[in-house]
Amino acid sequence: MATTHGDLILTGGGPQRDRSLQRQASAGKIRRVGDGIYALANGRPVEEIVCGGWAPILARYAPGAVLMGRTALQRNPWRERGPDGRVVFPGWVFATDLSGKDRKRLSLPGLEIRTFPGPGPLEGDMSFLGVHLPSDARTLLENLKASRARSGPSRTVGREGVEREVERLLKTAREEGLREIRQRAERIAGPLGAEQELQVLFDIIGAVVGTRKADLSAKDVAARRRPDDPYDPECMERLKALATTLGRVTPNLPDPHVDSGVRDCTSFVEAYFTNYIEGTRFLVDKARRIVFEHEPADGRPQDGRDVTQTFAQVASIVPGEGRASSADEFVAEIRERNARLLDARPDKKPGEFKEDANSAGNTVFVLPDLVRGTLREGFAMLRDLQAPFARGLFAHTLIVLVHPFNDGNGRTARIMMTKELVGGGQSRIVVPTIYRSDYIGGLRALTAPGTPQAAPLVRAMLRCQSVTARIASANLDETLRLWASTHAFLEDEKNARFSEPSPDVDIVWRRGIPAPSSYWADVDLAAQLQDDASDLVSLERNGF
């Protein structure tokens, strides 16, 4: 009898027992991938179909099997990552086999199964599609057993992998959950023959929780659990990639905004855009009146205060601005700047480090208990950088990656970048609305899984600095006009591109947004074409 599991078909025996399946295979409707195992020929890669059907295949091959080793950690086949960071086939499944004393192997397209003699389900194990998922306690004990890689990955992840899993469980299950895991491990260690592994597990849990002195083998876990200023090693790897890339880039764009009038105009534009990027949005003329005429912010006093406080900070930065000489001074400065920036938002606890984890999309920033240590380690790298551009972008990225505050992290980071650049006699960097995606994309490339890529962020910031350095006027109208010539104030990244500033471009204001007249003409043309197309559809529907 054949059973269907999604795009996978399993029979009770060899292919000769099911003539119908043989005929379908001959007709190309299905594909035979193993003894009594078929995959639908529906365009999906057969490796994907087989790997996705690992559980019913394992249940047919070793009924009642219990996942073990690295497969148990993932509750899915383990797959290696390729050079591009993507997981590749085959998927590896390691499991116990209750039917005999021999090790067995099954190789299928996209799936490798290895079974080993061992006990059946124990306390805490859970049934799943004819096989069993082991408890956390069993998973940890079995992964501490020694194994060697033979024509594939090793069966277990070893002590370092277990240390990382215990640390992960501490975040999700808390100390109470780890205590229950330890108690269960003590009860099942005998049937597993894992008495020695049990003592090692006790040491690991105690070291991670901080109740026992024991050395941790995984350097990243040891860094995060060290008693004095633990830090986030993954963040440090990203910062190392950035510092390495910055060492090959030495732009020299002297600060053209030294005169107080020019500095005020550019500082206004900087304050406007750095808040706009974070969602504090006003029309540019309204923001101008808020900053220079102290006009109320129309029922948004906190937003208005964000803009004026940002302006006050960046406008006061001058060449020769002193640098922090120690990590303590650096930490004190960013806390003070964040406190000033958000002084109208006491609910955000301005200037105080976060107590809860924060994230953006799929990126989880440095955990609260690792903030101080990561800032200290990052400052040690910053201190070794000399070029203002390198120092500015590194200080900015350190704060963005750590995200130490409840709010205002991006703005605080860009203020510190301006301080390093202007203090070192170089042009500041303004990131306009039109270039937000490139800026955010550069940060994402640095934080994406796999090898950190710093080049996209560096290129984006070099581009912004190049444009910023070319716009220097003591007249705010002229400053805004030149920035508008670059399409800076537009959110329409589909039809507009960040371009070089030009004094010859005709600027038109619509709905409070300044942009080149050619852009508005294109918008009008696109709207007209859409209206014409709609009219044509309407005529056709009415029989004309």
DSSP 312-365: HHHHT--TTPPPPSSHHHHHHHHHHHHHHHTTT-GGG-TTSBPSS--EETTEE-
The confidence band for 99, taking pLDDT boundaries of 50, 70 and 90, is confident
Cβ–Cβ contacts within 10 Å for residue 32, how many?
Answer: 16
396: in domain: yes
CA–CA distance, 430 with 330 (Å, rounded to integer): 23
Rg over CA atoms, the chain: 30
- The answer to whether residue 17 scores a pLDDT higher than 80 is no
- The answer to whether residue 536 scores a pLDDT higher than 60 is yes
Q: CB within 8 A of 285, min separation 6: which ones?
A: 512
Q: What is the CATH number of the domain that holds 311?
A: 1.10.3290.10
Residues 12 and 40 in one domain: yes
The confidence band for 210, taking pLDDT boundaries of 50, 70 and 90, is confident
Phi, psi values for residue 322, rounded to 5°: -65, 150
186: in domain: yes
N-to-C CA span, the chain:
61
Residue type (1 letter), 344 = A
Residues 40 and 50 in one domain: no
- The answer to whether residue 51 scores a pLDDT higher than 90 is yes
123: in domain: no
Q: Over the stretch 235-276, which tens digit does the pLDDT of each residue have?
A: 999 999 999 999 899 899 999 999 999 999 999 999 999 999
Type and span of the H or E element at 268: helix 260-277
Higher pLDDT, 327 or 534: 327
- The answer to whether residue 232 scores a pLDDT higher than 60 is yes
Residues 10 and 100 in one domain: no
Predicted pLDDT of residue 449: 81
372: in domain: yes
Q: Do residues 468 and 428 touch, judged by C-beta distance below 8 A?
A: yes
69: in domain: yes
Residues 159 and 291 in one domain: no
CA–CA distance, 277 with 443 (Å, rounded to integer): 14
Q: Do residues 368 and 355 touch, judged by C-beta distance below 8 A?
A: yes
Residues 95 and 9 in one domain: no
Structurally, how many domains does the chain consist of? 4
Higher pLDDT, 479 or 215: 479
- Whole-model pTM: value is 0.71
Residues 63 and 195 in one domain: no
Residue 377 burial by CB count (10 A; 0-12/13-18/19+): exposed, middle or buried? buried
- The answer to whether residue 57 scores a pLDDT higher than 70 is yes
Residues 89 and 196 in one domain: no
Higher pLDDT, 43 or 429: 429
Residues 201 and 105 in one domain: no
Last residue of a domain, one of 227, 250, 273: 227
Residue type (1 letter), 426 = Q
Nearest to 327 by CA among 419, 397, 395, 232: 395
Structure token pair of residue 282: 């006003």
304: in domain: yes
Strand partners, 87: 81
Predicted pLDDT of residue 62: 92
Residues 104 and 12 in one domain: no
Structure token pair of residue 476: 């705010």
Nearest to 294 by CA among 274, 311, 269: 311
The confidence band for 543, taking pLDDT boundaries of 50, 70 and 90, is low
Last residue of a domain, one of 227, 245, 280: 227
468: in domain: yes
Nearest to 224 by CA among 163, 176, 174: 163
Alpha carbons within 13 angstroms on the beta-carbon side of residue 361 total: 7
Nearest to 256 by CA among 194, 298, 331, 319: 319
SS3 call for 125: coil
Q: Over the stretch 510-532, which tens digit does the pLDDT of each residue have?
A: 999 999 999 999 999 988 887 66
Last residue of a domain, one of 196, 227, 258: 227
Structure token pair of residue 10: 């399993």
- The answer to whether residue 319 scores a pLDDT higher than 60 is yes
SS3 call for 105: strand
Residues 275 and 219 in one domain: no
- The answer to whether residue 349 scores a pLDDT higher than 90 is yes
520: in domain: no
Domain housing 79: 46-117
SS3 call for 446: helix
Q: Over the stretch 105-163, which tens digit does the pLDDT of each residue have?
A: 999 999 999 999 999 999 999 999 999 999 999 999 999 999 987 788 999 999 999 99
Residues 291 and 189 in one domain: no
The confidence band for 537, taking pLDDT boundaries of 50, 70 and 90, is low
Residues 177 and 293 in one domain: no
- Cα 23 to chain centroid, rounded: 49
The confidence band for 534, taking pLDDT boundaries of 50, 70 and 90, is low
Q: Over the stretch 322-341, which tens digit does the pLDDT of each residue have?
A: 899 999 999 999 999 999 99
44-53, 220-229, 391-400, range with greatest mean pLDDT = 391-400
